[in-house]
Structure 1
């Protein structure tokens, strides 16, 4: 993944010609651009829609001499094309003397004469059906997927720039996009061929990947998975289509008539089937909508073909354009089969017309359908291995037969281009710089070691003052079966060295049996999580934050050793058995101590806890997708739920451990796409400790004294303000993704996003545990009398990278140094 991201961002900053090409702008009589006008090659079904600025581009593999331009309220025009390539056209439409009435949306029943397009749309809903393969007992088909990335908007200035001096050979073979009309240079290509089998009676489906070919970069399965997450599967008949973690209103949805204008434009035969052509475009700006058209059969009302282009004003970052085409083969009244799915995304830092960027294109072709061939259930249970080395080493003959759509000349040339680029020192230098920025690690290929991560080099806290940290890890490749990692750190105020060392070993790939262990001696800000830390390498942001709110002196010296065994007997269900030995003591005893009553101590008080625990954790993550098959895998989606059940047993006496206790914890986290109203993230945590334990082993309601917005904490609570042995917390956060701000005229152009949050915590602390920790020099209090709660209002997407939250405390305002209000923020690159 890190290597792909490096090349992707490097080239972000850094064929066969069709027969007819036309591009230009559509204007009205006053010279103003006309958005969403319809342009079609005359006597064909090939067309496009102008963008928000009235510009269009259209091309075809066939030869045409005329285009037809139409728009509601204007006279249609047929424009003769003097040559095969016609760029820079300026077409003026005159206002019609008999203007067509704009589509009016009624809340009640609408007759056909009001708008025939709406009438057809209702029939589409009435006969809405699932994919045709679901209508058979069994099915099988071939699936060929081609994923490509291209550097676009290439001109002479870019080619002759110092940045590409010595790399001019890259631009010898350029092509032109049939969607945008821009020149582009392919730099990555991945092909996958698979056979898909399904049984609707057994409710089983499996995909056997038979071939996977990449254009030379390592970790091609990571690239494929990364792109598939960007271009997740979708059904155009769904009310909302999810792209880039956002829900777009489908033009075929039942809520479409409130979101789009529809116009019945044309009708013709397509593959011997009479079809209607309906143009659609959004009623309002700044919403997550498309523009385009679709062809629908006149009797089955099944979609024959559809194109969708995201409007330029849509509230989405770093993506200038999204274009989708789907073609269907309508078999009969109840079966339609997807033949081809094409999606293009134009990634760019700016949405300006001339801004450079990177095309991401995915083409999926389906063919050779077979139905009602029964296979035994064990056939579906025997999953194929998509990472089998043979999958990545198929020969030329295999790919010649597997490609359901041939490669163009420029696509075929990508493999040669990449092989050449790897030998050019200047390109390698660019690659190394961006790789470090993207991954945080400096690669030392000669030794198979990565140095880093560089973003943890500097930090600050009250106990250590300024601190520096340096680390390294083994790295032979993405799918290493073992990995060692460690770091050393030094604090300039306490003059002490700290360290962390971790090792992980994949013992069995099929069940993902992993043995892990490590040791860490460091200073940590505990109390940011309700679960005990067993991470021997990680470090909370509060432990090194340069700026904090209030006194941030409740830091802990931690000496942690862990040994664990984990396995995944069923996909997305993990069992983790672990043990840990922790020694905990205050890093600043004068301000914050962990003293407790100890009858065996000469003074009757001890200030350090030594504790040995064993634990069993069950983790269920339905819908989670990962990449790779090594000891470390990366998640490629965050829309899955997570259920965690943990049991911990503290054992006294063993390895001089101090306490006997038991702890049971449960947590559930789930993100929800609430149609076109954004994304709701919910989490619930419950826990109870049985037995007497001191402050260091109790469950602290997570506070936050940093200026960073963190999920699952309470930003208006200080560290250790609430301490419990029994607790329940709830967190709700909803991001409207600009749905509300887009309705406010003076805010609309800023593409801001509104976020609201509500949090609550309830807990108890037994009298026995209060008495045990009586020597501690901080008050021990649990939110038992009433539920502690907070709420917040946030504004996101400020300058596309910044989010600011305004946090309010709902109660317990009489607590010492209680903070009724606070401001936190965060930044990052989000779509």
Structure 2
């Protein structure tokens, strides 16, 4: 009986394959120019698509169709007969309608904003968008099933026969064709998750509880899972801007949409017994973060019933060739539209050419079991810290059969088996190990990681060429303890340096961590205003291979620390610590000397200092992964951060030299400003009470490297300004190509303009000035007469990975060796 069932299933699959209809091609006008955003629909159906910027399209259905309809406002509609189930690379010529020549001026470029019924409907959506879905209730909850998949696409014979897949040829037996792009693809990864989501619209709080998680080949890898989840953030199409890949796309339902999109009322019909209007939309300009597509909207509630969004080919976004979104809504109680299905597909590729290979990333989210107005109390939402439950990542097949809201298709089922087989292939193991090294910077051994490999080589004027070797214990991603260490050697000073630290997670729920360590090294302390006690941390300025001017103002540091950390509330951390440090100059061209008597006749060159501190850090919106002593931040640079440090220097404890109090405050906030870009603001302030020498003062961070380092002043030399009281402001705005994207010839380069302003003011007391015994290097001076400031103009996204900043000094030109102009650069992987 089982074999008969399998035979029937196989026959059904074969018949289904023959019943498919596939068609691709390009739509041009009579002059041979592409017609973007034309409608291509299977005849007598609602299955269709919209042509790309270059007029190309691909359309597929499981059903059999004999013709397609092609239409665009201002052109004669055309019907093309299909003689085969698969018709590729056809060219369709649309003729202009003589009666519509006057309208062509309106619709081929921009549709009218006046007397346009589509825009009248859009305004109705704006008026009612907060009266639909879960927003109509004080509290809500629902069940959510999420399925994420990655597929290698554009499979051809050259890829199959390439050396990289030697020994893994069997995987290509699983190739299929994508229904949106028409490209062949090979499924390589799948992740499934089931959640229970709770929300309170009165307090604007939401809590998500993971019930089960399963993926192919990576066990309970929370880092990978969290990265994928952050990559495909949830969104609301009613919002003005939809954020994907750190970019803000203008929603077609945005209140600013009429300035960005063209809208056409294309159809009206019953959809699931609800009368709806169909609106087709497409962008007014190229190179902007916009979509093309259509949506169906109900005529009474003005709620969206179905919407399709496809990012335009010309959108200024890197590494992503296509973005395609579908959302479906169902009606509850005859009036409330609730989302039931969301499908998001992206095509990652190094090049945007159609023949370039890439990776599909697909996420399908299904929603069900809605309940409303069940009040769970404030404490329920405040206690939203995730706890590691091993069972969640090891659910049995019965759980998935009961909780999947959509059965896995053939390709998805085969991924699990294929990855199990691949893990036994040595060629795959080599590829996986290379990818792991590039991603983490560590080379993995049994229970030990060597690295980070990117810090192996360095250079400064004291050490000369510097080599470094280090590593960390690693038994698993949720290790309750970790030991890290390194040793380094300078070929000019012929000295070894080292650092060693350890930490242990005492209580996972409160994240109570004990840590301690010791470091003896050479460091550039003039590269940061806000001091930390990171035993293994070392600034890029300490060993940059290329610098502007000599880097001799380095310090020998012997630092020992012990700390207790706790997280009483999510993303709010408290750290109590003690440290003992010895500081002395590492170069005869740099002095930390200070007077030890009032007559200023006795000089000391070494500082011994004991300090205790309390540090408070709050990072609302931060997302982390991992349940052990170390966690990985997956949305770095995408959340505000507040830091407050109160430190006390204790004299005569372990021969400590000085008594003082120090207060420091740091606030950094990135602001997504929709279509205008991203603004990052930083404020730092601090004050030291008591008499301290140079080694314990606050140095305005200079930057003598050729690298763009956020938070530094690129035209200041190290120790050019020294303070005991300071306030620093840094504003940086990335316009994401808003202006350059509108300039002919330049817009195809997808460059991004960046502007920044930095300013700092501060003072140094007469007592601290008098304590300093150095008369030449450095000379203690603070920006007290007027704030020091500079500004910069930058060009980002050069060759997609490089950024150049051009810096201009605003004042203090009279300082010795003052640099009026400078250029820095940086590499980075940005969407």
Which stretch has the larger CA shift, 220-229 or 759-768? 220-229
**Match in the other structure for 1:818:** 818
Separation (CA, whole Å) in 2 of partners of 1:109 and 1:43: 30
**Match in the other structure for 1:467:** 466
Q: Deviations over 1:455-476 (max 9, x none)?
A: 1111110001111111111111
Following TM superposition, by how much is the alpha carbon of 1:201 offset from its aligned partner in structure 2, in angstroms? 5.0
CA contact (8 A) 1:792 1:805 kept: yes
Separation (CA, whole Å) in 2 of partners of 1:713 and 1:142: 47
CA contact (8 A) 1:142 1:196 kept: yes
Change in 2 beyond 3 A, CA 1:486/1:218:
farther
3-state DSSP class of the match of 1:646? strand
Find out whether 1:251 has 2:249 as its counterpart. Answer: no
Separation (CA, whole Å) in 1 of partners of 2:32 and 2:774: 81
Change in 2 beyond 3 A, CA 1:39/1:459:
same
**Match in the other structure for 2:582:** 583
Find out whether 1:98 has 2:99 as its counterpart. Answer: yes
Separation (CA, whole Å) in 2 of partners of 1:332 and 1:119: 26
Following TM superposition, by how much is the alpha carbon of 1:333 offset from its aligned partner in structure 2, in angstroms? 7.6
Q: Deviations over 1:249-290 (max 9, x none)?
A: 111112111111111112222111121111111111111111
Following TM superposition, by how much is the alpha carbon of 1:655 offset from its aligned partner in structure 2, in angstroms? 0.7
**Match in the other structure for 1:804:** 804
Q: How does 1:179-328 map to 2 (within 5 A)?
A: 179-201=180-202, 204-328=205-329
Q: How does 1:675-824 map to 2 (within 5 A)?
A: 675-775=674-774, 777=776, 778-824=778-824
3-state DSSP class of the match of 1:426? helix
Following TM superposition, by how much is the alpha carbon of 1:137 offset from its aligned partner in structure 2, in angstroms? 3.6
CA contact (8 A) 1:23 1:57 kept: yes
Q: How does 1:67-78 map to 2 (within 5 A)?
A: 67-78=68-79
**Match in the other structure for 2:602:** 604
Following TM superposition, by how much is the alpha carbon of 1:53 offset from its aligned partner in structure 2, in angstroms? 1.7
Change in 2 beyond 3 A, CA 1:204/1:588:
closer
Following TM superposition, by how much is the alpha carbon of 1:98 offset from its aligned partner in structure 2, in angstroms? 1.8
Following TM superposition, by how much is the alpha carbon of 1:377 offset from its aligned partner in structure 2, in angstroms? 5.1
Which stretch has the larger CA shift, 235-244 or 346-355? 235-244
Following TM superposition, by how much is the alpha carbon of 1:232 offset from its aligned partner in structure 2, in angstroms? 1.1
Change in 2 beyond 3 A, CA 1:172/1:826:
same
CA contact (8 A) 2:642 2:665 kept: yes
Change in 2 beyond 3 A, CA 1:524/1:635:
same
CA contact (8 A) 1:344 1:362 kept: yes
3-state DSSP class of the match of 1:40? strand
TM-score (ref. length: structure 1): 0.95
Q: Deviations over 1:318-367 (max 9, x none)?
A: 11111111111133686220111111111100000110011111110001
Separation (CA, whole Å) in 2 of partners of 1:434 and 1:566: 33
Q: For this pair of structures, how many residues does the alignment match?
A: 812
Separation (CA, whole Å) in 2 of partners of 1:811 and 1:376: 56
Change in 2 beyond 3 A, CA 1:435/1:600:
farther
**Match in the other structure for 1:630:** 628
**Match in the other structure for 1:12:** none
3-state DSSP class of the match of 2:644? strand
Change in 2 beyond 3 A, CA 1:508/1:102:
farther
Separation (CA, whole Å) in 1 of partners of 2:333 and 2:65: 32
**Match in the other structure for 2:486:** 487
**Match in the other structure for 2:3:** none
**Match in the other structure for 1:541:** 540
Following TM superposition, by how much is the alpha carbon of 1:433 offset from its aligned partner in structure 2, in angstroms? 2.1
Separation (CA, whole Å) in 2 of partners of 1:205 and 1:281: 34
CA contact (8 A) 1:488 1:499 kept: yes
Give the CA RMSD over aligned residues.
Answer: 2.1
Which stretch has the larger CA shift, 426-435 or 152-161? 426-435
Following TM superposition, by how much is the alpha carbon of 1:64 offset from its aligned partner in structure 2, in angstroms? 3.0
CA contact (8 A) 1:300 1:333 kept: no
Separation (CA, whole Å) in 2 of partners of 1:300 and 1:41: 30
**Match in the other structure for 1:827:** 827
For structure 2, the 5+ residue unaligned runs are 1-12
**Match in the other structure for 2:4:** none
Separation (CA, whole Å) in 2 of partners of 1:768 and 1:374: 61
CA contact (8 A) 1:236 1:252 kept: yes
TM-score (ref. length: structure 2): 0.95
Q: Deviations over 1:563-616 (max 9, x none)?
A: 111110100110011111111111102x11100001399961001101110000
Change in 2 beyond 3 A, CA 1:385/1:249:
closer
Following TM superposition, by how much is the alpha carbon of 1:66 offset from its aligned partner in structure 2, in angstroms? 2.7
Following TM superposition, by how much is the alpha carbon of 1:742 offset from its aligned partner in structure 2, in angstroms? 1.1
Separation (CA, whole Å) in 1 of partners of 2:744 and 2:712: 34
Which stretch has the larger CA shift, 266-275 or 602-611? 602-611
CA contact (8 A) 1:147 1:224 kept: no
Which stretch has the larger CA shift, 817-826 or 208-217? 208-217
CA contact (8 A) 1:151 1:186 kept: yes
**Match in the other structure for 1:669:** 668
Separation (CA, whole Å) in 1 of partners of 2:157 and 2:599: 80
3-state DSSP class of the match of 1:438? helix
Separation (CA, whole Å) in 2 of partners of 1:723 and 1:376: 51
Separation (CA, whole Å) in 2 of partners of 1:181 and 1:360: 15
3-state DSSP class of the match of 2:392? helix
CA contact (8 A) 1:302 1:330 kept: no
Find out whether 1:616 has 2:614 as its counterpart. Answer: yes
CA contact (8 A) 2:522 2:555 kept: yes
3-state DSSP class of the match of 1:429? helix
Separation (CA, whole Å) in 2 of partners of 1:350 and 1:537: 39
Change in 2 beyond 3 A, CA 1:130/1:453:
farther
Following TM superposition, by how much is the alpha carbon of 1:208 offset from its aligned partner in structure 2, in angstroms? 2.2
CA contact (8 A) 1:149 1:359 kept: yes
**Match in the other structure for 2:118:** 117
3-state DSSP class of the match of 1:355? coil
3-state DSSP class of the match of 1:317? coil
Q: Deviations over 1:450-503 (max 9, x none)?
A: 111111111110001111111111111111111111111111111100001011
Separation (CA, whole Å) in 1 of partners of 2:295 and 2:247: 23
Change in 2 beyond 3 A, CA 1:131/1:681:
farther
Separation (CA, whole Å) in 2 of partners of 1:107 and 1:55: 20
Q: Deviations over 1:487-528 (max 9, x none)?
A: 111111111000010111111100001111111101101111
CA contact (8 A) 2:138 2:201 kept: yes
CA contact (8 A) 1:807 1:823 kept: yes
CA contact (8 A) 1:596 1:776 kept: no
Which stretch has the larger CA shift, 430-439 or 629-638? 430-439
Separation (CA, whole Å) in 2 of partners of 1:441 and 1:31: 54
**Match in the other structure for 1:22:** 23
Which stretch has the larger CA shift, 547-556 or 65-74? 65-74
Which stretch has the larger CA shift, 521-530 or 77-86? 77-86
Change in 2 beyond 3 A, CA 1:228/1:560:
same
Change in 2 beyond 3 A, CA 1:657/1:191:
same
Which stretch has the larger CA shift, 315-324 or 597-606? 597-606
Which stretch has the larger CA shift, 535-544 or 617-626? 535-544
